[in-house]
Chain A
Amino acid sequence: MDIVFSRLGDNEARFVLEGVSDGFANSFRRAMMSEVPTLAIEDVRIYDNTSVLFDEILASRLGLIPIRTDLSTYRLPSRCECGGAGCPRCYTVYTLSVEGPCMVYSGDLVPRDPAASPVHDRIPILRLFENQKLVLEARAVLGKGKEHSKWQPTIACGYKHYPVITIDDRCDGCGMCVDECPRGRLANGKGKARVIPERLELCLLCRLCEKACKRGGIGSEPAIRVDEERSRYIFNVEGDGSLPVREIIKEALLHLKESTRSLLESLDEIAGGTSDEESE
Chain B
Amino acid sequence: MPGSYKCARCKHKVEIDVNVRCPYCGHRILFKERGAGIKDLKAR
Binding site for B on A (CB under 8 A): 40-50, 55-56, 59-60, 62-63, 138, 148, 150
Contacts and interface: CB of A to CB of B under 8 A. Distances in A.
Contact of B41 (A40, A46, A48, A148): A46
Count chain B CB atoms within 10 A of each CB in A40, A59, A148 and give the residue with the most: A59
Interface residues of B, number: 8
A44 B40 contact: yes
B42 A43 contact: yes
B41 A59 contact: yes
A6 B42 CA distance: 41
Contacts of B43: 40-44, 59-60, 62-63, 138, 150
B38 A45 contact: yes
Interface string B10-24: 000000000000000
B42 A46 contact: no
B3 to A, nearest CB: 16
Contacts of B39: 45-46, 49, 55
A42 B43 CA distance: 5
Contact of A60 (B34, B38, B40, B44): B44
List the 8 closest A-B pairs by CB distance, nearest first: A63-B43, A59-B41, A59-B43, A46-B39, A44-B41, A41-B43, A44-B43, A45-B40
Contacts of A150: 43-44
A57 to B, nearest CB: 10
Contacts of A48: 34
12 contacts: A43-B42, A43-B43, A44-B40, A45-B38, A47-B38, A49-B34, A49-B39, A55-B41, A59-B42, A60-B44, A63-B44, A138-B43
A76 B40 CA distance: 21
Contacts of A63: 43-44
Contacts of A148: 44
Nearest to A140: B43
Interface string B25-44: 00000000010001111111
Contacts of A50: 34
A46 B44 contact: no
A56 B43 CA distance: 8
Given A46-B40, A56-B41, 9 more contacts: A40-B43, A42-B42, A43-B42, A44-B43, A45-B38, A46-B39, A62-B43, A148-B44, A150-B43
Contacts of A44: 40-43
